[in-house]
Amino acid sequence: MHRRSYLRAAGAAVALGAGAGCLAGESDGDEAAKTVTTATDDGDVTAETVATGLEVPWGAAYLDGVLHLTERPGRVVRIVDGSREVVAEFPDTATGGEGGLLGLAAHPDDPTVAYTYQTYDGGGRRNRIRRHDATDGWRAETLLDGVPGSRIHDGGRLFVSPDEGALYATAGDADRAEDAQDPAALNGKVLRLTLDGDPHPENPLDGPVFSYGHRNPQGLATEGGRLYATGHGPDTDDEINRLEAGGNYGWPEVRGRERGADGEFVPAIASYTPTIAPGGLAVYPDDGPIAAWSGDLLFGTLAGTHLHRAALGDGGVTDERLFEDAFGRLRTTFVGPEGHLYATTSNRDGRGRPAAEDDRLLRVVPS
């Protein structure tokens, strides 16, 4: 299998099945296999099962060196030696549809402080960002409230930029597409706060809005000092965007790589039709154990049911599909302190076909 058989230029259609071969596991084709290996032109890589029995894991963060995950029904769990332990529950979480207890991030300087993005009912469905004291029963303080919510398009990803002292959040359009073009509305946006919850002083607009014109952004990560986001399109044009302060990414006026008649919209750097529903975003570290992946963007896919690798280059983006159909829906990717890439499945969210041990936490390592 050669890379050229499944790498393509940004914007070209993904051929179903590309890169899906050369899979091997404890039982070939068994979705519940503990390990699955796939061959690439850069060498074999293996996905190992680290933990099982999770329920729609969504956000991931390390607090004092220990991995914590949110589960969408309203729990925070920690993973120690492959075991899942519930450390906090939030019964005021509004579940159903795409909302719930979503993003999770850790304070960069205080291992006792964490942030979550939560859907709740408050005279209608809403989203809020909260700060927690992990040493006091995950006591919550609301930093930003009133982000419009819905059964779909709640966004929910959190990302901390230590150099900026900034907390970023993705807010979906809450099924109100027209709001994405309104800079005063909080939905259909990427938001930027200080770590104390105030609008970041370097925001281009009044308030917490960093960029707008987004449909349902799902992932945030930085590479080379640039902020990138993944987002869901409607029936076409899932996107990777390179975010600019004050940038208008076009939804619902345009989609994908379109700039608009007057060039007023920022085009995506890559778009995907048929849609693959990209999830959370991670950047592979320069010192990671798979040297060929250094600086690449990696995200799970919910409709595409594969791990997606997007390599940034002067000629655009080239893409590779890994572990296709091996684990079902993949949502969140992140890098652990040892440099390995991790991914979570999302097969118990009502749209997947869960295997007996789902949902799972996976670790991708060289074979």
The tally of CA atoms less than 13 A away on the side-chain side of residue 100 is 19
Q: Which of 68, 107, 153, 340 is catalytic?
A: 153
Is residue 283 within 8 A of residue 222, CB to CB? The reply is: yes
Other CB atoms within 10 A of residue 136 CB: 9
Is residue 171 within 8 A of residue 183, CB to CB? The reply is: no
Pair of tokens at residue 319: 């893409």
**Chain centre to alpha carbon of residue 353:** 20
CA distance 216 to 234: 9
Whether omega for the bond prior to residue 183 falls within 30 degrees of 0, making it cis, is no
Any idea how long the chain is?
367
**Chain centre to alpha carbon of residue 34:** 23
Q: Backbone phi, then psi, for 40, in 5-degree steps? A: -130, 170
For the chain, what percentages of helix, strand and coil (3-state, to nearest 5) are there? 5, 45, 55
Is residue 36 within 8 A of residue 326, CB to CB? The reply is: yes
Q: Is 153 a catalytic residue?
A: yes
Residue type, 135: T
Is residue 131 within 8 A of residue 145, CB to CB? The reply is: no
Q: What is the CA radius of gyration of the chain?
A: 19
Residue 133 burial (10 A CB sphere; 0-12, 13-18, 19+): middle
The tally of CA atoms less than 13 A away on the side-chain side of residue 356 is 4
Active site residues: 153
